[in-house]
Structure formats: C-alpha cells, structure tokens
Chains A and B, each alone.
Chain A
C-alpha cells in the first residue's frame, strides 16, 4: 500500500510502527506465527486492480447497473413473490439512517430506539393479522412457511403438511428444503391438496387427506394466483378439527379489505414483508413474518428472535428486551428451535414506518384501489381476442391471463419491445391450463398504464 486507505485509519506507516513497537515486533508477519507454514498460500492473488478512488469506483458501479432495465422506466406487471408497489419517501429516509444501517446489536438501553422500532414492527403486524404474538421477521415468506410448518410439527408431534397443489414454485421449493428429504428421520411429508378450476382448495380432497397424521394445513389467501379464498374460516376449522394447525399465508397489504387470519381461526399466520415499504431490489427486498396467538404452545416454538415491551427502573418508562431467547439457536445451539441469525431487521424498521403512515384508512384505501385496478385490468385484458381471464374468481393484485394460442415467452418479448415487463410465464405450472401468465396490478398502475398494456397485448397476440 503506497497511500493510506480512506477506510483504514491505521494504514499510516507511523501508526503501524508505533503499534509494532508496543509489541516489540519489527514485522507484522511475526504476529501470524500461529498459522503453520504449509497452510499459507503460495499462489499470489490475481484480482482486478484496486479502485480506491471513489470517483472511479462510482463510475464502474454506475456503468454496470445502468445495463439493467428497471420497473420505473418500464411498465412492470411482474409479481409472484416480489411486487411493484409504491415506497413512500419517508420509508427510504428512515431506513437509510446510519444509526440502524450500521448497528450490530448493542444492549436494550444503548440501542433502545432500534429495539422499539422492531417491537413496533411486530405490534403493527399483530394489528393487521389480529394475533397477539409476532416474532422478528425471517428471511422470506417461503422461510416463514418453512419455520411455521416445523413449529406445527413440534406442537402436534406429526410429520405431514398439507399444501395446495397449486403453490408458488419458489416458496414450495424453499418449503421442501425445510421439510427434509425422505431419508431423514425427521422428514416432514408434503401432501398436495387438489385445487379446483375456481382456483380454490378442493374441499373433498382436503377432507380425504386431513387425518390424525397431518401436522398442518397451509393455504394462502389470496392464493399464488391471486384468488381470494371465500371461506377461509371453513378451511381453518377443517384443519383444527383434525388436530392440525391452520397456517395461513396472507399479503399484509390486503388486510385493510380482507379478513384478518386471527379473526377466522388461523393458528399461525405468515406472509411477505416486501409489500410494506421495501423496494423489489431484484428480489433482495423480500422478508417474512410469523404470527400466532400468544399461547405458550406457540410462543415456545418460535425460532425467531422475539422482542417484548417491558418496564425500566424509571417509573413509566418503556424498555424493549428479548424474550424467549434461550430457545433460539443462539441460546441452545442444536437443541434450539430451528435456527436464527441475521435476517431482514433493517427492512422491519421500514415496514414499521410504512404501517404507521398508512394507518387503518390507508390500508383500506390501498386495498380497494388494488382490487379495483386489478379488476379493471383483468376485464380489459379479457376483452382482447386471444386472451381471457376467469372473471368469476375474486382476486387481489394478481390474476391469471390465459392465451388461446399465443406463446407467453413470445408475447413477453413483444411487450418488452414496447417497454413493458409482461406477467410471469406460468405455463406448465400446477393449477394452470394451457398458455398462461400471472399479471400483477397494484396502486402504481394507472388506467393509462393498463390501456397501454392492452394496446401492446392486442398486437402481441395477433
């Protein structure tokens, strides 16, 4: 190093000399004597040249990232796990504060503000899902499902989970890893329940498969195809009547207009956190929550870090500390509940800001707006020759577009030429007939955007 590096305060020769003098060594290599000689690498490091000048580094990064096209300059109708929503400016303002961007963990007193923000994330999720116990978020919705299913396996002592046959392939793949291969003694078998042409779980098939060996029924409303389950209470009751947990996956952004899982008998609720004020970030904005009643049966099975409001020694002062820490992997290693680690806690702060700014009316309004815009888009697309949407399905935010003959990949290529990211190609996925795409319409899409999509679609399917 010829110059002191801007990120390394002691990279000044004089300081190094001073510290080495304090140790009585004249060469820093002497300090590495613990590493046996035959462990040291002999091959030099062939790495690209150092870009220590910020102006050069910025140019390099900007040049690379400018090769991406984005959902701001183009019209994006992709969802399926990462959704284009509006991120209020205050979410970015708060989430970019250095205090929490750079913090590690601290103590309940020294990092009090961050702990309170985490609690408020949990408190507001609890208000949305109407459940009293909420853990700190996990990596993603799929991971939340995985942990919830494992929790259910522990509460019931059973090793089977029933899921809809039409499930998002990414979330299902994540769940499969959580359930372990059949060779493992603690393997949890995944049983698929048929999904009818209405996009809902087939009641007869469910009745046939729910028995005393099933730990949990997992279903989503809206489903991975956007379908609102008309009778979620009936599904939950069927699960609990069989002694199984009723795990429901919900889009938190729908909960101003759709019933809270806690109100209709869900015993565990899970869902994504990205819709609550987080950018898509090429999939790097995802996160998941887990909620349940505040009963020891559930609370003592959480793998997450959990934060509780409590008192301090000063009269009337709140503090926020970890509860049930011992059952985490930090407290009990391999005897703990699954595992925890760094998750998406910075996003939880942005989620908390989002929920507080939205309030009950904001959630109701955005819910209605998404219902209306998605319906309008679906009706407009259904009116195009060669495209159809099953308008008898009640849906939220996402819906399936069926193509009579057109190949989805080709349609999307044509749309791309018009600056439009078409829906996800779901041709061949379970619960999908023929050529189909999953379109996502949210509060960011104007009626003019939908019109532009329809013009382009009309051309593309010709």
Chain B
C-alpha cells in the first residue's frame, strides 16, 4: 500500500522481465535464509493447528486434565448446537462482502480513472481510518446508529426500516442490536480490504482500451461490462476473499453492535475458549471454521482461475 503511495515505479522494471534465472550462489544459502522464519511459522502456526485438532477429540475436565479419546461426537454436538451461528456467520459475512463490492467498486474506479491530481489524497483518505484503532471506530457506529438519532430518524421517515424489518434485518424502529447494525459494521471495517485490491487491478488497465472501446461505438456501460470488469476480476477475487475470510471469523462487530440474537461463530469460539473454558468444543468449532474457509477459498480460486493471489 505504502509502496504505491510514496514512490515512483522502479526504472528498472521493464528490464527486470528479461532477466536471467536466479544463479546458484551457495546451494545452502536459501535454506539458511528461510530457516528462522519458516521455523517460526511451523512452530507457532502449523503446530498449533495440530494441537487444536488433537484438543478437539479429547475428553476430560479442567481439574482432571484432558486425554485424547478420539471423541468425534464433540463435532456433532458442536454442530447441532451452534449451526445457527455458523449460518449467521456465512450470511452476515456474505452480505458484508457483497455490500463492500457494491460500495467499494465505484470508489476504486474513481481513484483509478477519475481522481486526476486528487488521486493520492483520496488514496490516503481510504487508508487513513486504519490509523485510528478499529475498535474505537466501531464504537463510533454506536453513536451514529443510536436510537432516535438522525440516521435512524431518516431511515424511519423514508420507510427503509419497514422494509428491513420485514426482511428480519431490523426490529421495530431500532437499528442498533440488530443484524443490520452488524452487517453495517462488518462492511465498514473490511471496506478498505476490498477497495485496495480493486484499485490495484483497475489501475493496471491501459486507458487506451477504454478509448478503443469508445471508438468501436461501445456505450460507457458496455465498455465497463466488456472491458473494465473482466480486466478487474483479479481485484474482485482477492478483494472478496480478503473481506469474506476475516468477516466470517469476526466477533467484534457482533459483540459491540449486535445482541445475543446476532452472535456469530467467532463469538461462540471466543466465549467457549475464554469464559466457559470448554476447550474441546471450542477447538472443534474453530477447526470446522478453518475447514469451511479452506474449502471456500480453494473452490473459489479454482473457479475464478486466479492463482497469483500472493
């Protein structure tokens, strides 16, 4: 992000493409370079996953300790008890992702093609909210969406709340402590993660392609549909993943802006782990979430044919 803001593209970029394959300098050099970082990830990322998998099939109690008993019923119990939270997580994170795409695309387009000399400033304004702790900003939504406040009043006057109530997104003339507030918070929190990849892929589009489409009598909409949108697909794919993945595991928005009826799977994992201390159930839920996300990511990447996400 900062790279795109503060420096010009390296003058050697064009020659770098035709460079020779990396030369062998000492055969062991890459391994020494990799060793500490990879070891760190193995011990503190991969090994915990194994521990978690093993914890999920243990039985016992805090006082007497836990033993691995291959008690797979924990998974079944966890799923049958907490499936509403799972469904809710997918629904909320999915709605937030769609909203982020709808809201973020125009802004990314604006920055890439219309901002002119304001481009850097608008980009800074997109990144700037990051610098205020996101918890403080999420709490600000409590003020914005407060009962009887101007936003809720306006939504009421426009009868928007009647529609959302009918959809089950709000209750009565309240927005706080409803699904709408949670989705609104999720959308807000992960919007920059959608805008930045979109902007990166839009910015790469050669402006002459738009001119060519116009010369061939394409309307602006056709140009968008046939030229801009297909070329920005890598940004759409990584943007939706970068939004959906963290949103599906989030429990901050559901906790601060929602109620007990809006609890997501992240809330359950957090409570089970840190308050109820039922480690096997928590580990099983966390493992299920991980499996679901990996499945979604793999299918999505394969379907969209984008391999170069990293």
B partners with A? no
Which residues of B approach A to under 8 Å, CB–CB?
A: none
Which residues of A approach B to under 8 Å, CB–CB?
A: none
